[in-house]
A and B are shown apart, each in its own frame.
Chain A
Amino acid sequence: MEKPKISVHKFSSCDGCQVQILSLEEELLQLADRVDIAFFAEATSRMNPGPYDVSFVEGSVSTPHEIERIQHVRDISKVVVSIGACGQSGGLQALRNWGDLTYYLNDFYTEPEHIDALPQSTAFHDHIDVDWEVPGCPPDQGQLKYVINSLLSGAKPNLPSEAVCLQCKRDGNVCVLVSQEQPCMGPITRTGCGALCPHQERDCYGCFGPQGGGNIDALGRRFNGAGLTPTDVVSRLRLIYSWAEPFREASRRWEQGAQGAPLPPQPHKHGGMRS
């Protein structure tokens, strides 16, 4: 049987999603045995123009040419998998969507007429039908391998969309929000990273994007109760996934002011070390 043809395409990004594939070590060689890597510019000079069975796309759509490119990739691919935060939401560079492109161009370039950029940095699903999305900045290597293996064996990948807090609790971390009043984004952030930030004794900053059913305003009120201003809450929501709808809309509400009374810390019932 002929090996499935896969391709990897980069759009506006830092390249980190591709590095996650290039850092699979021994498994990268195993992957190359199981599939035909038909196009992956960063890894190989062989450039098969397609069609492909599975195309992985990373980065955001931020120029007119990138709209044409992603439509072409869709046309020549049976399955399109978007990997990473940029492809899923426009990414960190979507922070410019909140401002005015002219200001951005003039702030940085002396001759902005040579620069071709769309007014907004957007997700692939805003331009084409995407079959699967792998979240994260960067996506987790375990999740990437799971999705690749699922697709190769003809199964549908199913990535969890619960809050990262569940993983964090199972790992036995002390909650940095409850115990240290750090503005941890965990309760509204999708799982998948392995709860890395609390493991490093700091607050999550939401780099896997919004979880399936988080109460963003309640967390905003809790941050408010911990001393953050509504402007600070907006800033928490507008980082890696600022243009993902739940964070985008909540940040617009908080821009208008606090969404309800602040929620102060709960007194510790059993005292504990802080009492």
Chain B
Amino acid sequence: MSERKIEVPVLARVEGEGALHVKIRDGQVEDLRLRIFEPPRFFETFLQQRDWWEIPDITSRICGICPVAYQLSSSQAIEAAFGAVLTPEIRALRRLYYCGEWIESHALHIHLLAAPDFFGFPDAMSLAKSHPAEVRRGLHLQGLGNDLVKMFGGRAVNPVGARPGGFYRAPSYSEVRAMLERFRAAQDDAAELIAWTAKFNFPDIQRDAPRVSLRHHSEYPMAQGNILASTGLEIDVADFEHHYREFQVPHSTALHAHLDGKPYWVGPLPRLNNNLDRLPDATAHLLEKTGIRFPSNNPFHSAVARAVEIHIAIEEAIRILAAYLKQPLPKPYVNIVPKEGEGAGCTEAPRGLLWHRYRFNAEGKVVKAVITPPTSQNQAHMENDLRQSVLESLDLDDGALQAHLEAGVRNYDPCISCSTHFLKTTIDRGD
């Protein structure tokens, strides 16, 4: 009988805090648990009794990396509950706002969290010594995304401009004109980023799980569409809970989720795989040139998917910014009239599907809130992926195996704060 044991107190370069525990006996994974023990913050409970118009200012605090996603999923649910319909102009502004968050979150992840793994560095600051131009390009893209969010909300973390029904203020022409110029200047950087990430030295692994994302009839999905699984199941956002279930597991403060009883996979790679026919032409051409075949089931290709989505977001932002300059300044929000009722909202956070549901009383105060973040949806699939990685890499020494598993976790860009949670890696081989 042989057993092995490795322990690492903190998994680095992930957002939030958790632990990975692995026990290997006789060449089999006896136990593998992605432990999330970041303290619960009870958002769904203290949202009860709050007014409808306060919700986006509260839910943005669930995640400092994707506050826009939280604001928009909750706004959409509120609008559904009260029967408010946005104008096409406001929809376009929302998509533009979301482009900012996709760019900054993906650029942060590629350069500060993931890329050091592929070059053997502990962090981006060290990587910047050997690859100064690439890291600087990435940080500039991150800054560009942040600045687009700031145009709508004053700051990139917990921006203050979004409200149910739209925005408090419409951006001025001069702000939009300046932004458009900067976005046009960034197109080449985004194209080079796709080519750079495609050359990373990816481990060759395949992971099979239903891929779940939004699906829109004409656009690459961000804040609108049905929920599509690669199994063929396409449902309305309101029907999510009929097929997708969250449940508690003892080793985690985050809930796990299943689709019809099985783990599933959300995030940039499933989203890209499900929507290859919705890419802007320029992006499709660049993806073709990478030589990587999509759809891909290699979770390490998530890095390329993020670069592709930065490019999509830049192309889309340019289109929307240019159109904005040709129209009269829009009224930035539609009026909301609260009533008793319930509504669901779902948008594509940078790291995957983010689903909200609220029930309101007649005064528009929250009676019940349900929030399903992407990380809890991915957790069961992540554990399966890592279990397979252990079996494929048993001949690696403990240090190398641990590094491989940590990189494997980073592919999913788990936002552990979101699911209210610390990654600590323990590999117990029992010998």
Which residues in A have some Cβ–Cβ distance to B below 8 Å? 10-20, 22-23, 25-26, 28-29, 32, 37, 41-47, 62-63, 66, 91-93, 95-96, 99, 103-104, 107-111, 114-117, 121, 137-138, 140, 193-194, 196-197, 199-202, 205, 207, 235, 239-240
**Cross-chain contact A25 with B139 (CB below 8 angstroms):** yes
- Complex: A47 Cα to B247 Cα, angstroms: 34
**Cross-chain contact A138 with B158 (CB below 8 angstroms):** yes
**Cross-chain contact A45 with B123 (CB below 8 angstroms):** yes
Q: Which of B54-62, B221-229, B351-359, B390-398 contacts A (4 or more CB under 8 A)?
A: B54-62
Q: Tell me how far the C-beta of B108 lies from the nearest C-beta in chain A, rounded to whole angstroms.
A: 6
- Complex: A47 Cα to B406 Cα, angstroms: 15
Asked if B261 is an interface residue, CB under 8 A from chain A, the answer is: no
A92-B58, A200-B168 known; A12-B14 Cβ under 8 A: no
A29-B125, A45-B122 known; A22-B250 Cβ under 8 A: no
**Cross-chain contact B12 with A108 (CB below 8 angstroms):** no
**Cross-chain contact A14 with B417 (CB below 8 angstroms):** yes
Within 8 A of A (CB), among B76-132: 104, 108, 112-113, 116, 122-125, 128
Asked if B203 is an interface residue, CB under 8 A from chain A, the answer is: no
Could you list 9 examples of A-B contacts with CB < 8 Å? A14-B61, A14-B63, A14-B417, A16-B64, A92-B41, A111-B248, A138-B64, A207-B158, A240-B61
Which residues in B have some Cβ–Cβ distance to A below 8 Å? 9-17, 37-46, 50-51, 54, 57-58, 61-65, 67, 104, 108, 112-113, 116, 122-125, 128, 135-136, 139-140, 142-143, 146, 153-158, 160-161, 163, 167-169, 247-248, 250-251, 253, 406, 415, 417
Q: Tell me how far the C-beta of A41 lies from the nearest C-beta in chain B, rounded to whole angstroms.
A: 5
Other CB < 8 Å A-B pairs besides A110-B247, A205-B57, 16 of them? A14-B64, A16-B157, A19-B64, A19-B156, A23-B104, A93-B43, A96-B46, A99-B45, A114-B248, A116-B39, A137-B61, A196-B154, A197-B154, A207-B158, A239-B54, A239-B57
- Complex: A137 Cα to B64 Cα, angstroms: 10
Q: Nearest residue in A to B145 (C-beta to C-beta)?
A: A23
**Cross-chain contact B154 with A201 (CB below 8 angstroms):** no
- Complex: A41 Cα to B416 Cα, angstroms: 13
- Complex: A10 Cα to B423 Cα, angstroms: 12
Q: Nearest residue in B to A201 (C-beta to C-beta)?
A: B169
- Complex: A44 Cα to B124 Cα, angstroms: 8
- Complex: A46 Cα to B15 Cα, angstroms: 16
10 tightest A-B contacts by CB? A16-B64, A196-B154, A44-B123, A32-B125, A95-B46, A45-B12, A93-B41, A14-B64, A45-B122, A138-B157
Question: Which of A14, A96, A108, A194 has the most chain B CB atoms inside 10 A of its CB?
Answer: A14
Q: Across the interface, which residues of B come within 8 angstroms of A10, CB to CB?
A: 16-17
**Cross-chain contact B125 with A16 (CB below 8 angstroms):** no
Q: Tell me how far the C-beta of B257 lies from the nearest C-beta in chain A, rounded to whole angstroms.
A: 14
Q: Nearest residue in A to B162 (C-beta to C-beta)?
A: A200
Q: Nearest residue in B to A109 (C-beta to C-beta)?
A: B248
Q: Tell me how far the C-beta of B186 lies from the nearest C-beta in chain A, rounded to whole angstroms.
A: 14
Q: Across the interface, which residues of B come within 8 angstroms of A92, CB to CB?
A: 41, 58, 61
Q: Across the interface, which residues of B come within 8 angstroms of A62, CB to CB?
A: 39, 41
Q: Tell me how far the C-beta of B279 lies from the nearest C-beta in chain A, rounded to whole angstroms.
A: 28
A23-B156, A47-B12 known; A108-B45 Cβ under 8 A: yes
**Cross-chain contact B13 with A44 (CB below 8 angstroms):** yes
Taking a contact as CB atoms closer than 8 A, the residue among B63, B67, B139 that contacts A28 in the complex is: B139
Question: Which of B13, B135, B157 has the most chain A CB atoms inside 10 A of its CB?
Answer: B157
Q: Tell me how far the C-beta of B417 lies from the nearest C-beta in chain A, rounded to whole angstroms.
A: 4
Q: Tell me how far the C-beta of A36 lies from the nearest C-beta in chain B, rounded to whole angstroms.
A: 11
- Complex: A199 Cα to B112 Cα, angstroms: 31
**Cross-chain contact A107 with B45 (CB below 8 angstroms):** yes
**Cross-chain contact A22 with B108 (CB below 8 angstroms):** yes
- Complex: A137 Cα to B158 Cα, angstroms: 7
Q: Tell me how far the C-beta of B425 lies from the nearest C-beta in chain A, rounded to whole angstroms.
A: 11
**Cross-chain contact B248 with A44 (CB below 8 angstroms):** no
**Cross-chain contact B54 with A194 (CB below 8 angstroms):** no
Q: Tell me how far the C-beta of A94 lies from the nearest C-beta in chain B, rounded to whole angstroms.
A: 9
Q: Tell me how far the C-beta of B423 lies from the nearest C-beta in chain A, rounded to whole angstroms.
A: 9
Q: Across the interface, which residues of B come within 8 angstroms of A239, CB to CB?
A: 54, 57-58
Q: Nearest residue in B to A23 (C-beta to C-beta)?
A: B146
Taking a contact as CB atoms closer than 8 A, the residue among B46, B116, B140, B160 that contacts A45 in the complex is: B116
- Complex: A194 Cα to B150 Cα, angstroms: 12
Q: Across the interface, which residues of A come within 8 angstroms of B14, CB to CB?
A: 42
Q: Across the interface, which residues of B come within 8 angstroms of A117, CB to CB?
A: 39-40
- Complex: A115 Cα to B36 Cα, angstroms: 11
A25-B142, A41-B10, A200-B154 known; A15-B136 Cβ under 8 A: no
**Cross-chain contact A29 with B12 (CB below 8 angstroms):** no
Q: Nearest residue in A to B14 (C-beta to C-beta)?
A: A42
Q: Tell me how far the C-beta of B126 lies from the nearest C-beta in chain A, rounded to whole angstroms.
A: 8
A15-B16, A44-B122, A110-B248 known; A201-B42 Cβ under 8 A: no
**Cross-chain contact A42 with B39 (CB below 8 angstroms):** no
**Cross-chain contact A93 with B417 (CB below 8 angstroms):** no
Q: Across the interface, which residues of A come within 8 angstroms of B108, CB to CB?
A: 19, 22-23
Q: Nearest residue in B to A194 (C-beta to C-beta)?
A: B154
A19-B157, A197-B154, A200-B160 known; A44-B42 Cβ under 8 A: no
Q: Across the interface, which residues of B come within 8 angstroms of A13, CB to CB?
A: 64, 417
**Cross-chain contact B51 with A235 (CB below 8 angstroms):** yes
- Complex: A45 Cα to B125 Cα, angstroms: 11
Question: Which of A11, A16, A121 has the most chain B CB atoms inside 10 A of its CB?
Answer: A16
**Cross-chain contact B157 with A20 (CB below 8 angstroms):** yes
Q: Across the interface, which residues of B come within 8 angstroms of A207, CB to CB?
A: 158
**Cross-chain contact B40 with A108 (CB below 8 angstroms):** yes
A19-B65, A29-B128, A202-B168 known; A46-B122 Cβ under 8 A: yes
Taking a contact as CB atoms closer than 8 A, the residue among A42, A99, A115, A138 that contacts B12 in the complex is: A42
Q: Across the interface, which residues of B come within 8 angstroms of A41, CB to CB?
A: 10-13, 17
